[in-house]
Structure 1
Amino acid sequence: MKIIIAGGTGFLGENLKEYFRTKGNQVYILTRKPKHEHEIYWDATHIGEWSHKLESCDVLINLTGKSVDCRYNDKNKKEIYSSRIESTRVLHKAVDQCIDKPKIWLNASSATIYVHSEKNLNTEENGVIGDDFSMNICKSWEKEFFAVHHDEIRKVALRTSIVMGKNGGAFPKLCQVTKLGLGGRQGRGNQHVSWIHIEDFCRAIEWTIHHEYISGCVNVTAPQPLTNEELMKKLRKRLRIPFGINSPVWQLELASVFLNTETELLLKSRNVYPEILMKNGFQFLYPDIDSALQKLI
């Protein structure tokens, strides 16, 4: 296949690139800072030479967007919003110009679209979507993505949870914190963590590409979320760290200022279930956190 990944130089994009290339596919990356062969310049805002690469491609994956791991001040909020909306909008313009359009377009979204939930398990059909900055970003992003309909293009919005991998994302930071003895529960510890192993993430993308009846919004997350307290306990055990200091909310609020981040990333309960993947026969290699940690550590 010919695969285009917009915004593909981050943790997820790099892993997808290697995954698909090892299977003999052509993978091109759209990035603001091209450094290697098969990396093409784009500014994620305007049509350019990059748009010609979309012609006759099999798969378009858009992962573009400013990281939410920052303080939610007015400037960062604006950039989080515009980076997602503008990149999706300009890809629509580029696709419109294609004679032979992509067969499938997968656009990033987030499991954060669902409300803080400690009891209700959010599926694609029955998930509760709320109203705050993060949820509204996801809603606006998906609205922009599905605003234009092309008969030739199958569209899938990837409501992805925390992706666990050794070479980026949240997992190395969690390990570092745990090794420093700070791997106790965060806040009350009863907030749910929805997660997926990076290998299953890549496999789920591939599976979705090859199952032509799958479209719309898909939860890309392992089927067994667990509480923050359970996650940290299992991580301590796997790393053989005998204790972990708990972090109350006030402490996390203070630390988040110095670390230039937001406590929502740790304290929001993301209780999400991949009903579409499960009902349609996707087989997880790492369905539970124990199997994932065994592979990662």
Structure 2
Amino acid sequence: MSTTVVIIGANGFLGRYLCRYFARNGREVVAIARKKEGWSGDGMFLEWDGKEIGPWAYALEGAELVINLSGRSVNCRYIPQNREEIIRSRVDSTTVLGRAISECRVPPRLWLNASTATWYRHAEDRAQDEWDGEPGEGFSHEVAAAWEDAFFSAKIPAETRKVALRMGMVLANEPGTVYDILSSMAGRGLGGAIGNGDQRISWIHMEDFLRAVEFVMREPFMDGMVNLTAPDFPTNREWMRYFRETVGMPIGLPAGERLAKIGAAFMNTETELVLKSRWAEPLRLKEAGFRWKHAKADAAIEDLENRPGLAGFFRESARRSAGAKAWLPATAR
């Protein structure tokens, strides 16, 4: 039985961690990306352009898993050119991967395709699950819908199971990620509520993300859509307090919607990434019996403080004393 795992978009944030995780768990890893820069060095690297079938397609033959994470970052201004590139990069890579799988003599057993929890509507009143969640609107939903349409419309052999992973924010202590940016803001006294502070956050600790991917691999009857999030949905106000507690900063200046828009423009990003409420319930993982190691946001954020970078993450996390958190007054938490 083949134990080959093919990771497309292997030089990105999630791809690096997946390559290291599967390599350390005895899988043969094939890493595919447009360039080597950013790749963890685990497994064998193959180059592709994300548009045309090439020699990389031979790696799909009989693979245990193919996971597609390819797509331009959404952390940018949504000008027309960037919007087009964000959608096209996801649709093109998914389409060509579907064509390559359809031509396999021995197709892979499972195709996981990245998607996003922003498929769901902006919700502050109730969680959205896979069975009765309501579709959203706006550009983020447009991206998610086009991505999933390309995935589910791909005509591939019935032997290949397909699952779209609707992911929340994946947390790891990595430069340039959500965790890094919010920790830095909190450390500078800027870790107050953003917008009205009531918007919900869907997130997942990197360790649970990796475990959930493998869990889905082992569940032969799980297909369709799966929400990859933690079962805890703090408000933005609570979320920012957890970061302040972790870095030991007793104050956090809030940023109303107008100030958030100015800050987003300065950082060359969009306020939608922090102002939109994401409340995706991981109902299917719960029903299938998945158990989170980091189910609460405050403990997850604190755990990652001592696990910086790829190497730090895969070291055993040291027990952290209450330290800075202990002296914070209750009103600042």
CA deviation after TM superposition for structure 1 residue 199, in Å: 0.2
Q: State the alpha-carbon separation in 2 of the partners of residues 148 and 84 from structure 1.
A: 13
User: Counterpart of 1:176?
Assistant: 184
Q: For residue 264 of structure 2, what is the aligned residue in structure 1?
A: 256
| CA distance in structure 1 between the aligned counterparts of 2:290 and 2:5, rounded to whole angstroms | 22
- TM-superposed CA distance for 1:256, in Å, is 1.3
Give, in angstroms, the shift of residue 125 of structure 1: 0.7
3-state SS of 1:192 partner: coil
Q: What is the CA distance between 1:293 and its match in structure 2?
A: 2.1
Separation in 2 of the partners of 1:206 and 1:141?
A: 22
Cα shift at 1:52: 1.1
**Distance across 2 between alignment mates of 1:280 and 1:93:** 31
Give runs of ≥4 in structure 1 deviating > 3 Å. none
- For the pair 1:61 / 2:67, whether they are aligned, the reply is yes
Task: Measure, in 2, the Cα distance between the counterparts of 1:9 and 1:154.
Answer: 25
Asked if structure 1 preserves the Cα contact closer than 8 Å seen for 2:193 and 2:255, the reply is: yes
Confirm whether residue 204 of structure 1 aligns to residue 212 of structure 2.
yes
How far does the alpha carbon of each residue in 1:20-56 deviate from its partner, in whole angstroms, 9 at most, with x for none? 1111111111111136561111000011111111112
What is the match of residue 243 of structure 1?
A: 251
1:251, CA displacement in angstroms? Answer: 1.0
Taking a change above 3 Å as real, the CA distance of residues 237 and 4 of structure 1, as seen in their structure-2 partners, is same
1:65-98 deviations in Å (ceiling 9; x for gaps): 0000000000000000100000001001111111
Deviation at 1:291, TM superposition (A): 2.3
Counterpart residue number, 2:93: 87
SS, match of residue 69 in structure 1: coil
> What is the alpha-carbon distance in structure 2 between the residues aligned to residue 225 and residue 16 of structure 1?
25
2:86 counterpart SS class: helix
Q: Which residue of 2 aligns with 1:6?
A: 8
Whole-Å separation in 1 of the counterparts to 2:266 and 2:136 = 29
Letter in 2 for 1:44: G
Determine which structure has greater relative contact order: mean sequence separation of CA pairs < 8 Å that are 6+ residues apart, divided by chain length. 1
Residue identity matched to 1:23 = N
Of 156, 160, 166 in structure 1, the residue corresponding to residue 163 of structure 2 is: 156
2:29 corresponds to:
27
TM-score, normalising length from structure 2? 0.87
For 1:291 and 1:285, the matched residues in 2 are separated by: 10
Gaps of 5+ in 1: none
Tell me the TM-score normalised to structure 1 length: 0.98
SS at match of 1:28: strand
Letter in 1 for 2:13: F
- What percentage of residue pairs aligned between the two structures are identical? 39
Q: Which amino acid aligns with 2:298?
A: D
Give the C-alpha shift of residue 9 in structure 1: 0.9
Distance 1:11 1:157 in 2: 18
Structure 1 residue 130 displacement after superposition? 2.0
- Give yes or no for the alignment of 1:15 onto 2:14: no
Distance 2:302 2:247 in 1: 10
Equivalent-residue separation in structure 1 for 2:137 and 2:247 (angstroms)? 38
Q: Shift of the alpha carbon at 1:187? A: 0.7
Structure 2: 5+ residue stretches without partners: 306-333
RMSD: 1.1
| 1:84-125 deviations in Å (ceiling 9; x for gaps) | 000001001111111000000000000011111001110001
Q: State the aligned residue count.
A: 297
TM-aligned CA distance change 1:34 to 1:234, over 3 Å? closer
Query: Is 1:165 the equivalent of 2:172?
Result: yes
